[in-house]
Amino acid sequence: MIRSMTGFGSASGTADGVDLSLELRSVNSRHLKLHFRIPPGTERWEEALREEIAASVSRGHVDVTLRLGSPAGEGAGASAPVFRLDEVRARAFVDALRDLQERWGLAGEVDIGLVGRCDRLLVEASSDPVETVSEGALREVAIAAVAQLVEMRVREGERLADDLTARVGALLAGLSEVETLAPRRLERESERLRRSIRELAQDIEVDPDRLAREIAFIADKWDVSEELVRARAHLEAFRDLLGSPSEEPVGKRLSFLGQELLREVNTIGSKANDATIARIVVEMKNELESLREQNENVE
């Protein structure tokens, strides 16, 4: 079973008085890359999100978007917001002002009015997700979003498998055509060589052993049987991976087999010496290019 690297998953929930909404979008990548878009103050959650995603996804570029908000229905008539003092920030602000006053000999007092002008001293507790939302609640939402992402990647993988299987069949058919045409090519070349020698030699007797050796040399030079055997073996391995029930990622192995197939097909083309075989090789290379492009989508 193969999976695509393209997919989308989302999940939402309300935990500890805060709405959580998580979206995951994945596209192709050689390795697993996570790009986070999360609200300020929630950076400590990145590791938990990374763990949940990496447990089920091994390749792909994944955009991780987390949104936080108040539960639906809160607003008018809701309980008054609760604020807390950021004591560390307030103390640092007061200490800095008193140090400045002492060093420069400034008059006046550091009072509540002055301290109140400092930004972000009071934090609304109900809007501070780091304080109000537990990591366990976040993981529950992440697990649901990842499950939806994987489900979509599996569905896309099924469509990819159908397309790749069809292309493997077309390549096998091309190899069978080459296998049928290759011996006829040698027969034609042998007859052409005999005819040319008769025309050139005329009354001169030609050594049949020498002629046989020349034909054998051409046969060995044009022989594509080894390339056909290896190409079929690669295609069988490719098809086995497509039909494997394992959930282990196979995209890299499929890409390697595609490269080896191209190597064998190129060699067949270089030995073709036949217009029909050359045309088949071109068609097979087109199929291999499509195969390579589709392989880039496989996890």
Q: List, for residues 239-281, the tens digit of each pLDDT value.
A: 999 988 887 889 999 999 999 999 999 999 888 778 898 999 9
pLDDT score of 119: 77
Which range among 12-26, 61-75, 194-208 shows the weakest confidence by mean pLDDT? 194-208
Does residue 128 surpass a pLDDT of 50?
Answer: yes
Cα distance from N-terminal residue to C-terminal residue, the chain: 10
pLDDT score of 76: 43
pLDDT by residue (tens digit) across 213-238?
666 666 556 678 889 999 999 999 99
Percent of the residues in the chain that have a pLDDT greater than 70, as a whole number: 79
pLDDT score of 156: 95
Does residue 11 surpass a pLDDT of 50?
Answer: yes
Which whole-number Å values give the CA distances from 167 to 93, 176, 290, in the listed order? 69, 14, 8
Average pLDDT over residues 126-144: 77
pLDDT score of 82: 61
pLDDT by residue (tens digit) across 286-296?
999 999 999 99
Place of tokens 């088949």: 280
- Mean pLDDT score of the chain, rounded to an integer? 84
Which whole-number Å values give the CA distances from 62 to 74, 234, 247, 270, in the listed order? 33, 31, 19, 42
Which range among 164-173, 179-188, 204-213 shows the weakest confidence by mean pLDDT? 204-213
Helical H segments across the chain, by residue range: 46-54, 87-104, 112-115, 129-132, 135-201, 208-222, 225-243, 251-270, 275-295
CATH of domain 7-74+132-152: 3.30.230
pLDDT by residue (tens digit) across 67-115?
987 655 444 444 556 667 778 888 888 888 888 888 888 888 888 877 7
Which range among 48-57, 103-112, 183-192, 228-237 shows the weakest confidence by mean pLDDT? 183-192
Q: Which is it for strands 60-69 and 32-37: parallel, antiparallel or unpaired?
A: parallel
Q: Which is it for strands 83-85 and 122-124: parallel, antiparallel or unpaired?
A: antiparallel
Of 197, 206, 218, give the one whose Cα is nearest residue 273: 218
| This prediction's pTM | 0.68
* Sequence-distant (≥ 6) Cβ neighbours of residue 163 within 8 angstroms: 294
pLDDT score of 202: 62
235: tokens are 């295609």
- Contact status, residue 4 vs residue 28, Cβ threshold 8 Å: no
DSSP-assigned letter for residue 298: B
pLDDT score of 100: 86
